[in-house]
Amino acid sequence: MKKLSIFVSGNGTNLQRIAEYFLEDWAVKIENVVCNNPNAYAIERSKKLDIPVRMITKQDFNSEAFVKELQDLGIDLIVLAGFLWKLPENLVKAFPKKIVNIHPALLPKYGGKGFYGEHVHEAVVAAKEAQSGITIHYVNELYDSGEIILQARVSLDENETPDSLAAKIHQLEQAYFPVAIEQVLLSQN
Residue 14 found at the interface with ligand GRF (CB under 6 A): yes
* Distance, CA of 42 to CA of 170 (rounded, Å): 16
We find the least distance from the C-beta atom of residue 13 to ligand GRF, in angstroms, to be 3
CA dihedral 130, 134, 136, 140 (to 10 degrees): 70
Residue 104 found at the interface with ligand GRF (CB under 6 A): yes
Residue 102 found at the interface with ligand GRF (CB under 6 A): yes
Residue 11 found at the interface with ligand GRF (CB under 6 A): yes
* Distance, CA of 93 to CA of 105 (rounded, Å): 26
Which is nearest to 29 in space by CA: 2, 51, 49, 54? 2
We find the least distance from the C-beta atom of residue 117 to ligand GRF, in angstroms, to be 6
- Distance of alpha carbon 171 from the chain centroid: 15
Q: Per-residue x/- marks for ligand GRF, 53-92, CB under 6 A?
A: ----------------------------xx----------
* Distance, CA of 58 to CA of 37 (rounded, Å): 11
Residue 133 found at the interface with ligand GRF (CB under 6 A): no
Catalytic residue set: 103
Query: Which residues would be at the binding site for ligand GRF (CB under 6 A)?
Result: 8, 10-15, 81-82, 102-104, 173
